[in-house]
Amino acid sequence: MKKRFLTWTLILFAIYGVLIGLYLFQWAEFGVPEAYQGTSADPATFMTAKELAQSQDYSRYKDFLYFVSLPLEWIIYLGVMIFGISTVFKQSSERVSRFSIVHIPVYVLLLSTLTWMLTFPVDYISRRLSLSYGISTQTFSDWMKDELISFWVGYIIMALLITVLYTLMRKFEKRWWLYASILMMPFLVFMMYLQPVVIDPLYNEFSDLKDKNLEAKILSLADEANVPAERVYEVNMSEETNSMNAYVNGIGSNLRIVLWDTTLNRLQEKEVLFIMAHEIGHYVMHHLYWNLFGAVAAAFIGLYLAYHLMKYSVRRWGDKLNIKSVSDIAGLPVLFIILSLLSFAATPVELAISRNAEMDADVYAIEMTQNPEAAVGAFQELTVNGLSEVNPPALVKYLRYGHPTMMERIHLLEQYQQIE
């Protein structure tokens, strides 16, 4: 079984990699349709020949790396089960302490460490790719610091979730998925409250916006939209990246309006105001809460399906994989595979909803600022700065893009200008 797993994994992964490579580098159509050529959405009108070439190359390599790495964790989890590593991890966690509450966090730590080590080369290649095209500016030591912070933050959250989940599995054999879904709501609300003031500062330094004139204008927009913000935060990102970003996140007293310093350095004031109006639009249209509702609904459906698929998997392969029951922690990799596959299957729907919300926020920002020229300039600069592909291949768009393509966004602005 082990030899067959290795053989078929290598064969299928090689075929998959070749097909993805052919799609991205040979079959997929890049560039702008004829109807958009010469318009503001045509990168040839605002990018140099070198930037155009870099944009296409960077997009292809980045997308190839994403798709090739997509099944890696599934393969790792399968290997952990087939080679008996999961059983070893379970036995090791039981030897650490006689208290059962310690066993699950130790098991999760062992599995997380192995997964992190095996996927680290892909993360490193992604970093090198970003550096070579001038997107990332982060030193290796700072990058490693962020990697380790992400690992430990992710581990603490995962260990807590898995401990609660498996406790529910043991106590409520037929209803654990329901109780876990119910608990997701307060957990996600708590994380939304915690994120801006506890987790985000672990990675970057936040300070009050230095440009007080710009801050006053942003807060005026926020006040017009009834956003309860008293200040605007500036985050130092220029030491890590040349990319630009801005966002409104958090809830209650922890709500924050945040601007990356790269955005401040590269956009004109009127363009920054459009970007902030877009982010304010998300708040006004309650997209944050709709995201919360969607996450809870997805958890309900996903855990219900996982409940049935996990039962079937244990019944079908439990003896071969040494999984005694659904609540046996040794079967966690199987649960991870199931949840990951369900998440992947839901991705096109989730991204389509996200793209629609982003387009609504664009419309809100245009109506609020009444400056489509600034909006076009902001999107063009974002495209140049991030070497973005304005019209990505269909597979990339529907499996990776949570925002409309730049071509679609700029075209919307042009239509608004024509109406005006």
> 206 by DSSP, 3-state: which?
strand
Q: What is the mean pLDDT of residues 35-62?
A: 92
Tally of domains within the chain: 1
pLDDT tens track for 140-165:
999 999 999 999 999 999 999 999 99
Give residues with Cβ within 8 angstroms of 409, minimum separation 6.
Answer: 359, 362, 379, 403
Q: How far apart are CA 224 and CA 213, in angstroms?
A: 17
Position 373 in a domain: yes
Given a cut of 60, is residue 420 above it in pLDDT? no
Range of the domain at 322: 2-202+287-419
Question: 84's torsion region: left (phi>0), alpha (psi -120 to 50) or beta?
Answer: left
Q: How far apart are CA 36 and CA 415, in angstroms?
A: 12
Is-contact 227 288, C-beta < 8 A? no
Q: How far apart are CA 149 and CA 159, in angstroms?
A: 15
For the beta carbon of residue 208, count every other beta carbon within 10 angstroms: 10
Position 193 in a domain: yes
Going by pLDDT thresholds of 50, 70 and 90, the confidence category of residue 166 is very high
Give residues with Cβ within 8 angstroms of 74, minimum separation 6.
Answer: 337, 340, 341
Q: How far apart are CA 187 and CA 195, in angstroms?
A: 12
Element (H, E) at 207: strand 206-208
Paired tokens of 119: 């996927």
pLDDT tens track for 251-280:
877 888 999 999 999 999 999 999 999 999
Position 404 in a domain: yes
358 is in an annotated binding site: yes
pLDDT tens track for 290-347:
999 999 999 999 999 999 999 999 999 999 999 999 999 999 999 999 999 999 999 9
What is the pLDDT at residue 415? 79
Position 273 in a domain: no
Looking at the chain, the whole-number percentage of residues with pLDDT higher than 90 is 84
Measured between its terminal Cα atoms, the distance across the chain in Å is 67
What's the mean pLDDT when you consider all of the chain? 93
287 is in an annotated binding site: no
Give residues with Cβ within 8 angstroms of 272, minimum separation 6.
Answer: 214, 218, 246, 259, 263, 264, 378
What is the pLDDT at residue 413? 87
Is-contact 191 248, C-beta < 8 A? no
pTM flag (> 0.95):
no
Going by pLDDT thresholds of 50, 70 and 90, the confidence category of residue 250 is confident
DSSP structure string for 67-96: HHHTTHHHHHHHHHHHTTHHHHHHHHHHHH
Given a cut of 90, is residue 230 above it in pLDDT? no
pLDDT tens track for 371-401:
989 999 999 999 999 999 999 999 999 999 9
For the beta carbon of residue 367, count every other beta carbon within 10 angstroms: 11
Position 33 in a domain: yes
Q: How far apart are CA 66 and CA 64, in angstroms?
A: 5
Q: How far apart are CA 275 and CA 11, in angstroms?
A: 46
Given a cut of 70, is residue 417 above it in pLDDT? no
Given a cut of 80, is residue 111 above it in pLDDT? yes
Active site residues: 279, 362
Position 213 in a domain: no
Annotate 283-315 with b (16+ C-beta within 10 A) or e (fewer).
Answer: bbbebbeebbebebebbbebbebbbebbeebbe
